[in-house]
Each structure stands twice: as C-alpha cells, then as structure tokens.
Amino acid sequence: MTARFNAIGLVVSDMAASVTFYRRLGFAFPEGAEEQPHAEAELPGGIRLLLDTEETVRSFHAGWQPPSAPGGRASLALLCDTPEEVDALYEELVGAGYHGELEPWDAFWGQRYAVVADPDGNGVDLFARLPDARTP
C-alpha cells in the first residue's frame, strides 16, 4: 500500500471571504462554492485545495478549536513567472484589503519573495526566481 499526496485542507472562518481570496490567486472554485460548508478547487496535477468551515470541522470533531494566536503554522507557496508578477500580485491583494505580511524583497536564496495573509491569517507565499540567481 502506498499513500499518495492528494490535497491540502484549510479550515476557514468565512467561506465566502476565503473563496474570493483564493479565486483572486487563480484557484477555480465552482460557482456557488462560497455558500457551501466544504469547497474544493482542483490544481494542476490533480492535487486539490480543500476549504472547510469551522462548523463543518466541529460536526465531526466536536472539540476542535481554531488556533489562539494570529497567523498559522502552514502556508501555501505560489510560483510566479517573474519577479514583477510577485510585486504586482502582492500590490493587487493588499490593494483589495488583504494583509501584507511581508513586502516583496530580493531574498538571499535567489527569489523575489512576499507573503500575504489569507482571510484566516494563513500565509500565502508569492515567489519567483531572480534573473541573476544561480539554478540549484
């Protein structure tokens, strides 16, 4: 038997806000997903992003509580085509009212890198290889 990676799941406090945020990043949630207690967007390669409301999780895990500290311990990392795309996407999201956690900068590991928080405080890393960076 071999387990295969298939999905990333996030617990969300506001499904509509989360679906709106991830749609801005290109995730194709079906129409009406913002009104559901569970939503899925298929990603290239067959991996899925799963969103479940806090109420949904409590329906099968009665003692579940959201983390007490702001921010999460997990993040999603999204590869952009160019450093300029990192900057533009960061500005678009912050301009739409999302929290910019880390402004775009040229990281010492050879990437243009930024972090925006989703509506529940999970980090979404935006990155692109810098043109003069050596390939690992």
What does the alpha-carbon distance between residue 38 and residue 106 come to, in Å, rounded to a whole number?
37
Rounded CA gap, 134 and 101, in Å? Answer: 27
Q: Are strands 38-42 and 75-79 parallel, antiparallel or unpaired?
A: unpaired
The neighbour count for residue 36, using CB atoms within 10 Å, is: 17
pLDDT for 110 equals 92
Q: In the numeric block, which tokens belong to residue 87?
A: 């900057």
What's the pLDDT at 136?
52
pLDDT at 34: 96
pLDDT at residue 99 in the model:
94
Retrieve residue 113's tokens.
């890198």
3-state secondary structure the chain: CCCCCCEEEEEECCHHHHHHHHHHCCCCCCCCHHHCCEEEEECHHHCEEEEEEHHHHHHHCCCCCCCCCCCCCCEEEEECCCHHHHHHHHHHHHHCCCCEEEEEEECCCCEEEEEEECCCCCEEEEEEECCCCCCC
pLDDT by residue for the chain (136 residues), tens digit each? 786 888 999 999 999 999 999 999 999 999 999 999 999 999 888 899 999 999 999 998 888 888 776 666 678 999 999 999 999 999 999 999 999 999 999 998 899 999 999 999 888 999 999 998 765 5
